[in-house]
Amino acid sequence: MRICFVTTEYVTEEQNYDGGLSNYLSRICLALQRKGHEPVVVVASKSNRRFRHNDVEINRVKALCYSKRLMKILQLLPGLDWRFVSWQLNRRVKRLHGERPFDIVQYASVGAIILSRHKDVPSVVRISGNQKLWDIAYEETPSRKKLAYQNLEIAGLTRADSLYGPSRVIADYLKENHYFDVKIVESPFVQECSSFSTEVYGKIRSQVTGEYLLFFGSLGLAKGVKTIADMVHNLLEKYPNLTMVFVGKDMGYNGQPIMNYVFAKAGEHAGRVVWHDRVKHEQLYPIIQGAKLVLLPSRIDNFPNCCVEAMAFKKVVIGTKGASFEQLIDDNVSGFLSVPDDPQGLLAVVTKALNMPEEELEKIGEQASDRVMKLSPEKIVEQLLSYYKDVIAQKLSATAIRLDGVKEG
């Protein structure tokens, strides 16, 4: 099959190479390619360029969203920027389809990029989250602009021939609030780099005395960084030989870097809080391997990639209830779950884990790894290909019925 993936981010793009969507698409493209299929990526970018990355064809489209001057103008009419970027990306899809037809096109739900889709090509949307839920999780002030984006995202989903996603939490929300049926296909895990770099790990290790707990990913409210901050002083007070390490892009909080808030809340223990900006996977993996526990207390998530990666390395993850982690973590068996936005509850779970015998933690780590084994590319890609084939068959059937109706008329 020749499959087009249309997206706002990908691992080749410096501005967003580390996002969950980027990593998902890279992994699924590699997995499809290994099975003899032809994935093609169309990505919003700062420039136009056609090239290959890991032998996958990448088509960069110079998107309006990277022109600050034009964005200021278009944002006077909320949602026009999203519509224009969708048109730009789909113009490229149409051109590529004319060169060699696609069997199916998959759109990310982000940015409603399906809005200008090619109607004759079977098209699906993979749900990467929900704009309204993210706005709530980031405590965004409701505005005309935010409402326009939320409505456009839902309008985009109505344009798809079918919807699928990895998270039952998000799928249930869309069914309950918008009557969408979302097929569940979990995301595969592929260790993308064959060798690791310990340079960044060495820098972090030099700042750590004893063991460290790790948070990695986007440093923001939605991912629960404030919850960690609000309990970090008590944690470090209780465990004098422990360090709290953060790795990721600072998304800010109340107009300031969120790490400023973390350091302030740590008080006299701020010297045992370490932060490093986002890193590539070959640098990240040794940092994960060195952690005692991984804390991911998200308010909302979408089958979190960070959790999958940590579990793959047999790390004990502390996630949150009601935010997709239940799909991955069997509480007290393959990890732990706390209540979102509950610093003292999180501290209690962390304390419980730290006080467990090492052999019990190792057993939980093994069971975490066993869960990730179920996300092997071989299993997930077969599910995805079966889904694609069903969508294509339904599209052909609907087209045939429509043409018969035209003939009869």
Q: State pLDDT tens for residues 379-394.
A: 999 999 999 999 999 9
Instruction: Identify the pLDDT of residue 300.
Output: 93
From 71-80, 158-167, 340-349, the region with the lowest mean pLDDT: 71-80
Instruction: Write down the mean pLDDT value for the chain.
Output: 93
For 305-350, the pLDDT digits (tens) are: 999 999 999 999 999 999 999 999 999 999 999 999 999 999 999 9
From 119-128, 137-146, 264-273, the region with the lowest mean pLDDT: 137-146
User: Cβ neighbours of residue 172 under 8 Å, at least 6 residues apart?
Assistant: none
Report CA Rg, the chain: 22
Q: Where are the beta strands (DSSP E) in 189-328?
A: 211-216, 242-247, 273-276, 293-295, 317-320
The correct CATH number of 2-188+377-408 out of 3.40.50.2000, 3.30.565.10, 3.30.70.260, 3.30.70.1170 is 3.40.50.2000
Instruction: Identify the pLDDT of residue 403.
Output: 59
Q: Which of 64, 58, 53 is nearest to 5 (CA)?
A: 58
The model's confidence at residue 270, banded by pLDDT at 50, 70 and 90, is very high
Distance, in Å, from the CA atom of 225 to the CA atom of 215, rounded to the nearest integer, reads 8
Where helices occur in 68-167 by DSSP H, the ranges are 68-74, 80-99, 131-137, 144-158
For the chain, the distance separating the N- and C-terminal CA atoms, rounded to the nearest angstrom, is: 35
Compute the average pLDDT of residues 288-294. Answer: 98
Give the pTM: 0.91
Instruction: Identify the pLDDT of residue 71.
Output: 63
Question: Contact, 103 vs 16, CB < 8 A?
Answer: no
Distance, in Å, from the CA atom of 10 to the CA atom of 361, rounded to the nearest integer, reads 35
407 has a pLDDT exceeding 60:
no
Instruction: Identify the pLDDT of residue 320.
Output: 98
Residue with tokens 């706005």: 135
For 20-42, the pLDDT digits (tens) are: 899 899 989 999 999 999 999 99
Where helices occur in 243-336 by DSSP H, the ranges are 258-266, 281-290, 305-312
Domain covering 199-373 in this structure, CATH number = 3.40.50.2000
H or E element in which residue 45 lies: strand 38-45
Instruction: Return the higher-pLDDT residue of 107 and 145.
Output: 107
251 has a pLDDT exceeding 60:
yes
Q: Where in the chain is the domain with CATH 3.40.50.2000?
A: 2-188+377-408, 199-373
76 has a pLDDT exceeding 90:
no
Q: Which of 89, 161, 163 is nearest to 129 (CA)?
A: 163
**C-alpha dihedral (277, 204, 198, 252), degrees to nearest 10:** -10
Residue 211 phi, psi dihedral angles, 5° rounding: -95, 165
The SS3 of residue 112 is: helix
How deeply is 297 buried, as exposed, middle or buried, from its count of CB atoms within 10 A (0-12, 13-18, 19+)?
Answer: buried
Distance, in Å, from the CA atom of 213 to the CA atom of 191, rounded to the nearest integer, reads 22
Residue 318, token pair as written in the block: 């502390």
